[in-house]
């Protein structure tokens, strides 16, 4: 399959590369990528441009964008609106681009996360974003045309992320990255749609 | 208690009025209300103004704002952003205003809905909104100061709404409004926080 991965350089993205790159033609894109595969989830035109460049894609995976973290007592309406941009609205923009540009019977796989189900300090905005993504996927999957499928993977704390962000997730079981990678394979290579694959 | 209800004129609002008005001093506000209790969830200043006007509130309930409905194949990034304004961002704005202005140990009760858990045609944006509200409430409740509580009621299709919107919810069991009203009473008069009260 031709698979486009947005967010290839992150911890989750690297787990997906490990799982899929040997079996598929995997195009890796991210904000940190140089050249024509650079993409920023906060800029919907860059998402459309990337998909137009790679016609005939069988699968789009979005694993990019850290959610916004911030204490509730300093939260403002403006910060909340900004916090929704990349991970929530960027992923919805990616679904809309895929709706128009993916090959028939292709699949879109988004990424939510454990916040919302589990709570950590400063995670209210991230929880809102994850809840929104999961609600959107369940409902939008049922309205996709051309046999397109839409799922979401909710990864827990990856073992490969503990050095960087483990301090915010004390007591959470770290997940082997390979397990997270397999959840994306299940979405891309399976037949299900409207599913939330939680890896805990 | 002094209870402020935003969205008093809707079907859910009327169920809340029936349940609470005999036991509490219930201030009714809405977009359709004339005079100083007029409030528009799409205008955060109007929310702050309303709460400043009624100092010493023990409870804020938000039951206003219908979500945005629209077919996925005509959805755009702009429509999604607009669709988040009232019911999602307006309710978060209301929580932030309550965080600053409610009496100590007061409660905030928001409103989500069954979309997201159940799907109907054209409901993808509404599902995103409901998922976001529930994720936010679970996480933000744990960060509220001054003993403030935060819950959300997820009403099903009310019997009193079937004439107006029942055609979109064929096969869903209509809920007696009194059951929905009691869920708000449980949030306002109980001691729980971070809860989702689903009325099905």
Instruction: Kindly tell me if the per-residue pLDDT of A65 is higher than 80.
Output: no
A36-60 confidence digits (pLDDT tens) = 899 999 999 999 999 999 999 999 9
Query: Between A148 and B35, where is the model more confident?
Result: A148
Model pLDDT, residue A88: 97
Model pLDDT, residue B139: 97
What percent of chain A has a predicted confidence (pLDDT) above 70?
100
Model pLDDT, residue B84: 94
Model pLDDT, residue B65: 75
Task: Determine whether the interchain pair B132/A129 forms a contact, defined as Cβ–Cβ distance below 8 Å.
Answer: yes
Out of B73, B81, B89, the one facing A80 most closely (by C-beta) is: B89
Model pLDDT, residue B64: 87
Q: How far apart are the CA of A74 and the nearest CA of chain B, in angstroms?
A: 9
How many other CB atoms are found less than 10 A from the CB of residue B191? 7
Q: Which of B86, B34, B96, B44 is nearest to B65 (CA)?
A: B86
If you average pLDDT over residues B114-118, what whole number do you get? 91
Note the residue count of chain A: 200
State the Cα–Cα distance between residues A114 and A126, nearest whole angstrom.
Answer: 9
- A-interface mutation test, from B72, B92, B94, B194, most A Cβ less than 10 A away: B72
> Considering chain B, what is the average pLDDT of its residues?
96
If you average pLDDT over residues B8-25, what whole number do you get? 97
Cross-strand partners of B155: B199
Model pLDDT, residue B34: 87
What CA–CA distances, in Å, run from B190 to A191, B59, B199?
45, 11, 17
Model pLDDT, residue B90: 97
A101-112 confidence digits (pLDDT tens) = 999 999 999 999
For residue A26, what pLDDT band results from cuts at 50, 70 and 90?
very high
Instruction: Kindly tell me if the per-residue pLDDT of B29 is higher than 90.
Output: yes
What percent of chain B has a predicted confidence (pLDDT) above 70?
100
Helix, strand, coil: what percent of chain B each, to 5? 45, 20, 35
Q: B193: which 2 tokens?
A: 């926080």
Instruction: Kindly tell me if the per-residue pLDDT of B69 is higher than 80.
Output: yes
If you average pLDDT over residues A77-100, what whole number do you get? 96
State the Cα–Cα distance between residues B187 and B195, nearest whole angstrom.
Answer: 8
Tell whether ipTM is more than 0.85: yes
Q: In sequence order, what E strands does A90-134 have? A: 107-111
State the Cα–Cα distance between residues A101 and A87, nearest whole angstrom.
Answer: 21
If you average pLDDT over residues A110-133, what whole number do you get? 95
B37-48 confidence digits (pLDDT tens) = 999 999 999 999
Model pLDDT, residue A129: 97
Q: Establish if A99 touches chain B: CB-CB under 8 angstroms.
A: yes
Out of B115, B134, B143, the one facing A139 most closely (by C-beta) is: B115
């Amino acid at each position: 399959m031709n698979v486009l991965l947005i967010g290839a350089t992150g911890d989750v993205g690297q787990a997906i590369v490990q799982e899929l790159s040997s079996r598929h033609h995997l195009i890796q894109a991210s904000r940190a990528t140089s050249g024509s595969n650079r993409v920023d989830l906060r800029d919907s035109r860059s998402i459309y441009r990337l998909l137009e460049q790679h016609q005939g894609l069988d699968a789009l995976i979005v694993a990019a964008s850290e959610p916004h973290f911030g204490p509730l007592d300093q939260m403002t309406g403006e910060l909340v609106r900004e916090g929704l941009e990349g991970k929530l609205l960027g992923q919805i923009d990616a679904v809309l681009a895929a709706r128009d540009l993916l090959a028939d019977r292709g699949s879109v796989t988004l990424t939510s996360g454990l916040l919302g189900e589990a709570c950590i300090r400063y995670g209210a905005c991230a929880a809102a974003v994850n809840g929104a993504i999961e609600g959107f996927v369940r409902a939008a999957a049922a309205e996709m045309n051309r046999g397109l499928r839409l799922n979401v993977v909710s990864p827990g704390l990856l073992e490969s992320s503990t050095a960087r962000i483990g301090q915010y997730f004390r007591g959470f079981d770290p997940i082997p990255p390979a397990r997270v990678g397999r959840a994306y394979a299940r979405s891309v290579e399976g037949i299900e749609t409207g599913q939330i694959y939680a890896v805990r």
